[in-house]
Amino acid sequence: MKLSVIMPVYNEIETIEEIVSEVRAVRLQVCIWANKAHEETIELEREIVIVDDGSKDGTRDFLKTLEGQPDVRVIYHEVNRGKGGAVWTGLQNATGDICLIQDADLEYDPRDYPHLLQPILEKRTQAVYGSRFRGGPTKAMFFWHMLGNRFLTFVTNLLYNTILSDMETCYKVFTREVAKKLHLRAQGWGFDPEITAQILLMGYRIYEVPISYSGREFVEGKKISWKDGFTVLWTLLKYRVHGYKPQYKL
């Protein structure tokens, strides 16, 4: 069984080498209950699918040093398409049985992978989100970011009859079965609500597990602003009104 780590990258020269090393270092050994009386360990293969979204800060120079390595695939966008566009390219090029989205900015810790994978490997669900609000160790977030996140998650729960605690999390993990039914159109910050809406409208219930989180400051390159919330709201409402049918594009 193989895990595809989808890593959208844009101007992350300060962190890209470290995050790739961290993803490679984590042991993909997951202890699961095969039945009520027997425990077994599953070890997954991995591939890292890095999509450079038009970086101009030297990130591409580093990525070129990874080309040809057996566990890494690097794809380049000639123009910036946004996170959604980069993730969609990554999914179209992934070959794993399970896909996991990993940002390149060191806010999320790859050591959480086994916990994220366990519910899928135990066949309890086909989609897992890593939640920053379910008790994992976290660096204190900006109050207004936390409030905005909680509000947008509340709207998601209200519109889609679910009980998520962190719709905007980076760590979204799902099986190949889910991935092949997606068709992502949102290029920028509409990505998180779009993929969430599509997964829920296809009838999958999302399982959440606590993760660690170390948020960046604005001086460290954090990019989201309050204006992005309007894109998220519009995307949630659009899919609630128009619905979604599986596309089988992958």
pLDDT reading at 53 higher than 70 = yes
Degrees, nearest 5: CA angle 58-17-134: 120
Sorting pLDDT into bands at 50, 70 and 90, what band is 144? low
Instruction: Return the pLDDT at 16.
Output: 97
By DSSP bridging, strand 2-9 and strand 98-101 are parallel
pLDDT tens readout for residues 178-225: 999 999 999 887 899 999 999 999 999 999 999 999 876 544 445 556
- Residue ranges of alpha helices (H) inside 56-135 are 59-64, 83-93, 113-121
User: Is 142 in contact with 130 (CB distance < 8 Å)?
Assistant: no
Query: What fold does the segment set 2-242 form as a domain?
Result: Spore Coat Polysaccharide Biosynthesis Protein SpsA; Chain A (3.90.550)
Domain ranges of the chain: 2-242
Phi-psi category of residue 180: left, alpha or beta, with phi > 0 → left and psi -120 to 50 → alpha = alpha
